[in-house]
Amino acid sequence: MHSIGIDIGGTKIAAGLVSPDGEVSQVKKVPSPAAEPDLMAETVVELIHNLQRENQVDTVGIAAAGFINSERNEILYSPNLQWRHEPLKTRIQQQVSVPVSLENDANAAAWAEFRFGSAKNADSMVMLTIGTGVGGAIIDSGRLIRGGFGIGGELGHIRLVKNGRQCGCGQRGCLEQYGSGTAFLKAARKLATSDGPAGRRLRELASENGVLTGAEVSQAITEGDVGALSLLRELGDYLGQGLASIVAVLDPEICVVGGGVSIAGEKLTEPIYFSYLNNLPARGYRPELSVVAAKLGNNAGLIGAADISRAESLQ
């Protein structure tokens, strides 16, 4: 029994065939028609039909970046995809012969890590996805916690700093303004344009076009550059502060860290872990979680979406 997983992002749509063991094959990526929401369902249906042509498929799971309603048939709002009250699942289901399910992309990725990746031995986890923003997802006792209206797990929007940095959500001081890949790159660029010795290597790497890229910062980290590593520790410190509050609420066994920056592995997860410990309420009087990097990379969203659609069809 195979399922199709689809991951709709702001720049591309990824589709693939997913086995019951979470193995992916035939992954295909196409540009996301983000500016034309009406084209989105069409593009997704075409990807599904192409995969169905040569494969026996039982269910389809779709992950999308956005607020999904509690019935999970509608995207209430998506900042990157220009949707308001878009009945995406209904539109796609009308044109597809097998059951279709819709899930928030961060939830889908966390589900994949929970079933097949870094958290497969845990019952309760949170996931932080460090990318353009800070995405989040929650699993408790083996169940995704989606919240009463479907918008739970927006862990990047707990407040870290009162009257802090302006956030795209309309508030100030949200965790994602301090702990995202965007915030990290901004800090690296600032260090690179400073005069101090800590920015030397970053300055060199940026010299060709003048503006530091994410790949160049990754290179500095890989090389063990002191300046880049200090920024990574600062990033981890912010994320650990947020994690400590999240643990007060959810007390998970494990925190899985995904997204682009998580390829730094322990260079990121260790600073998060130690900051979490330093900020943990009632430290010493309670069990402590582990912090680990995600394993499934960019395919996590489509793997999780496919697995959720399969699980639901078996209910």
Q: What is the contact surface with a second copy in residues (CB under 8 A)?
A: 67, 76-77, 122-125, 136, 138, 140-141, 143, 145-162, 167, 169-171, 174, 241, 244-246, 248-254, 279-287, 289
Q: Please spell the DSSP secondary structure of 262-306, one letter per residue.
A: GGGTHHHHHHHHHHHHHH-TTTTSS---EEEE-SSGGGHHHHHHH
Closer CB to a second copy, 148 or 210, in the complex: 148
- Inter-residue contact 299 to 24 (CB < 8 Å): yes
83 three-class SS: strand
Closer CB to a second copy, 3 or 107, in the complex: 107
Closer CB to a second copy, 176 or 225, in the complex: 176
Closest contact distance (angstroms) between CB of 176 and a second copy is: 10
Closest contact distance (angstroms) between CB of 247 and a second copy is: 8
Closest contact distance (angstroms) between CB of 153 and a second copy is: 7
Closest contact distance (angstroms) between CB of 118 and a second copy is: 15
Closest contact distance (angstroms) between CB of 249 and a second copy is: 5
Closest contact distance (angstroms) between CB of 131 and a second copy is: 17
Other Cβ atoms closer than 10 A to 277 = 16
125 three-class SS: strand
In one letter, which amino acid is 235? Answer: L
CA nearest neighbour of 147 among 70, 76, 86: 70
> Sign of dihedral through CA atoms 32, 167, 237, 151?
negative
Closer CB to a second copy, 4 or 160, in the complex: 160
Q: Number of C-alpha atoms within 13 angstroms, CB side, residue 270?
A: 8
Task: Name beta bridge partners: 15.
Answer: 6, 28
Closest contact distance (angstroms) between CB of 74 and a second copy is: 12
Closer CB to a second copy, 96 or 250, in the complex: 250
For the sheet with 2-8, list strands across it.
24-31, 12-18, 2-8, 57-64, 100-104
**What's the rounded Cα separation, in Å, for the pair 64 and 242?**
25
Closer CB to a second copy, 290 or 313, in the complex: 290
Closer CB to a second copy, 66 or 199, in the complex: 66
